[in-house]
Amino acid sequence: MTQNEREIISRKTYIHYLFQRFFRSFSVIKATPAKVLFIVVYLFIVMLVGLQIHQSYYEASLTDSFFAFLEKAAFVCHGLFALGGLFVVLVAIGTPRGSRRTYEALWSAGLTNHGGDAPLLLSKCKDTHAPRVTVWEFAPNKIPLEVWQTKQTTIEGALDITIAKMVWAKGRKVIRVYAVPAAGDLPSLLPWQDKYLSKRNFELVLGEGITGPVTVNLAYVPHVLLGGSTGSGKSVLLKLLLMQALRKGAKVYIADFKGGVDFRAIWHQKCRMCFEEHDLLDMLTELVDKLEQRKKSFQVFGAANIDEYNEAEGTDLPRYVFACDEVAEMLDKTGLTKEQKELVSQIEGKLSTIARQGRAFGIHLILATQRPDATIIPGQIKNNIDFRVCGRADNVLSQIILDSTAAADQIPKDARGRFITRDGTVFQAFLFDEGEL
């Protein structure tokens, strides 16, 4: 592409942006009636000038001179200038503050198309659902969202913000960026308080994100997969979820192949624990049997899920949550005998059944792992776990948990309790004191 061709494209793009801002001004005026004052002042000035020109034209028309011709030309052109001026005023109203500075910052950061043009800021306002979040809308200038996501940290540095998420909007014509000022980033420590416990049916709270609380509702998203390297806070987050499940009346089963040393005595009192493979198989067999029993009962009464059944029958069937702090230890077949491998295969089969069918019958999995081995967690289990969270991790573990390297790219190497969900939401998990259980 020649320099002349680039200039032509840039000129056309700029004209397109002017009209975008012109039409946006109407929505700005609707949202901010005070801006009507600018138009009123402009129209008042136009009216005064028009009256003056009209008076001059009337006086000039009494004579037949060169000055009369000039006055007539001014009278004719006044309307055109007035319309052009109104266009300029509306474009100014539709132009967000700092748009030029934002354009230059993104251009300097290298977020440009093949013609060398950066995105243009179309609007900037507070999010009505999260007051601390600012929503930036950009005309992407043919720069795909994938490029924005790749350059997220660069954009954050250029605009001095922390980005919560970036999405397409308005039919993929606009890229919407949700962000807070860099100084308003998440704290490194968030102690749990009982007031954070959700009142919604089986909604569990994980922590605080830039846009507000991050939650998972097991009534809709039945299973959770947690990942993170040693010291990332993964085990603390697991216990936070299990604590809330207990408080909501669930029966919690925990598999711990370290002999239960990671769980205080209070967990042994409130939950059913198992420490070796044969007990685990018995535990999972019991859960699958409960699943089959509920399936038959729900069919008899025409209930689609546990909530419908409880409401229709006036009962209170509890939900069951099975948790494992290191699922890789449980499913790893490396070095096992034939009999041991068969036992692990049976365990995998039970977990797979619960992963596929557990939602409707109130039986849930919360599995955690820190081992970066893609062969450990079978696809038939992982593919049925939609809600995935990863803390500090390398590229391999992040890819296993999230199907992307987002955790490795966006979670600081020294972070503890900082996690990212599969959809890109970064949050600080609440720090739960087991002594409060």
* Residue 39 neighbours by CB under 8 Å, 6+ apart: 29, 86, 89, 90, 93
pLDDT value at 66 more than 70: no
Q: What is the pLDDT of residue 59?
A: 57
323: closest CA among 276, 253, 388?
Answer: 253
Q: Which two tokens mark 40?
A: 């009123």
Q: Tell me if residue 52 falls in helix, strand or coil.
A: helix
Band (pLDDT 50/70/90 cuts) for residue 327 is confident
Q: What is the pLDDT of residue 73?
A: 62
The CATH classification number of 194-436 equals: 3.40.50.300
Q: Is 214 in a helix, a strand, or coil?
A: strand
Distance from C-alpha of 249 to C-alpha of 59, rounded to nearest angstrom: 91
Residue 171, number of CB atoms within 10 A of its CB = 6
Class (C level, CATH) for 99-184? alpha beta
CB–CB of 420/389 below 8 Å? yes
At residue 360, does pLDDT exceed 90? yes
Angle at the Cα of 37 from the Cα atoms of 35 and 41, rounded to 5 degrees: 135
278-325 pLDDT tens trace: 999 999 999 999 999 999 999 998 999 999 999 988 889 999 999 998
**Strand order of the sheet with strand 134-139?**
120-126, 134-139, 174-181, 161-169
The answer to whether 351 touches 365, Cβ cutoff 8 Å, is yes
**Can you give the pTM of this predicted structure?**
0.72
Residue 346, classified by CB atoms within 10 Å of its CB into exposed (0-12), middle (13-18) or buried (19+), is: middle
Of all residues in the chain, what percent carry a pLDDT higher than 90?
Answer: 46
Q: Quick one: pLDDT at residue 76?
A: 59
205-263: per-residue pLDDT in tens?
Answer: 999 988 889 999 999 999 999 999 988 999 999 999 999 999 999 999 999 887 777 88
Which DSSP string do the residues of 336-390 spell out, in sequence order? --HHHHHHHHHHHHHHHHHHHHHHHHTEEEEEEE----TTTS-HHHHTT--EEEE
CA dist., res. 245 & res. 432, Å (int) = 14
Torsion of CA 339, 344, 347, 351, to 10 degrees: -160
Per cent of the chain over pLDDT 70 is 86
